[in-house]
Every structure is written in structure tokens, then in C-alpha cells.
Amino acid sequence: MTHTPSTSHPITIHWRQQGRVITHQVNEGEYILQSFERQGDPLPFSCRNGCCTACAVRVLDGEIDQREALGLSRELRERGYGLLCVARATGPLVVETQDEDEVYDLQFGRHFGRGRVRAGLPLDEE
Ligand code: FES
């Protein structure tokens, strides 16, 4: 009998900021962000907890395991966004990285939290 290797899946990432398309085999159940790092491709991230959206991607083909993506609204999940730091490989997948802050802006609004909105304060100097 030959030893059966554990299942792995081809995960392709269009890394738009770097103009590269990279594919690695990721073991079933392994975090995609972590696996890519281990294989020499450290993709953008910040919190690693599924909260900050720095690692967000848009799914082009396949499905992403979203159980732990707490920082992503249901609406954005339905629009095909996912968070790589908490996404585990469950099958072949093709995704593309977001524009800088694309997901953050979609979720929270372009000016929220950037010091441009002074909620409730009338601006007298116009
Ligand atoms: S690194 Fe923060 S959500 Fe993935």
C-alpha cells in the first residue's frame, strides 16, 4: 500500500499591487495567508484575526471558507469578498487582492474614522 498524501488545493492569487499571479498548493484546512507566507509570498495583512480587512480579497472562482471572517459584513461576503488570514483551503480557489482600503471603505464609508467627519458638530466656518 502506498501512503496517501494529505489533500491539498491549488490556490491562485492575483496580487494586483505587485502585478503578479501566484499559485501555491495549500493543504486542506490550512489558513491560506499563512501557507503563502510559508511558501515565500507574504501577502498583505495586519491583524490576522479576521477583523481589520487588510487581507481582503475578491473571489473570482471557487469558494472561500468564511466561518471566522468576523470583520466582514454579510453583504460583503455575499458580494464575494473574503479575508485570507482566516480563510482555510477547502477546494481550488482563484482570488484577487483588493485596492488599498477598498473593503474598509465599502464597509465603513470613505470618511469614517479618518478624521474628516466630525459627527454632530456644526461647522461654523464655511
Ligand atoms: S489581516 Fe486583518 S482581517 Fe485579515
pLDDT, average across residues 77-98:
94
Instruction: Calculate how far, in angstroms, residue 76's C-alpha sits from the geometric centre of ligand 1.
Output: 15
Instruction: Calculate how far, in angstroms, residue 33's C-alpha sits from the geometric centre of ligand 1.
Output: 9
- pLDDT above 60: residue 115: no
Could you give the domains of the chain? 8-108 (3.10.20.30)
Asked if 72 contacts 82 with a C-beta cutoff of 8 angstroms, the reply is yes
Task: State residue 123's pLDDT score.
Answer: 53
- pLDDT above 80: residue 25: yes
Backbone angles phi, psi at 34, to 5 degrees: -65, -40
- pLDDT above 60: residue 96: yes
pLDDT, average across residues 1-5:
57
Pocket residue to mutate for ligand 1, from 31, 45, 67, most atoms within 8 A of Cβ: 45
The set of cell numbers assigned to 97 is: 487582492
What pTM was estimated for this model as a whole?
A: 0.80
Please report, rounded to a whole number, the percentage of residues in the chain having pLDDT higher than 70: 83
* Cβ of residue 107 lying under 6 Å from some atom of ligand 1: no
pLDDT digits (tens, 9 = 90+) for 36-46: 999 999 999 99
Task: State residue 4's pLDDT score.
Answer: 57
Q: How far is CA 37 from CA 43, 107, 109, 116, in A?
A: 7, 27, 30, 35
* Cβ of residue 94 lying under 6 Å from some atom of ligand 1: no
Q: Whose CA is nearest to atom 3 of ligand 1?
A: 50
d(Cα 105, Cα 108) in Å, to the nearest integer?
Answer: 5
* Cβ of residue 22 lying under 6 Å from some atom of ligand 1: no
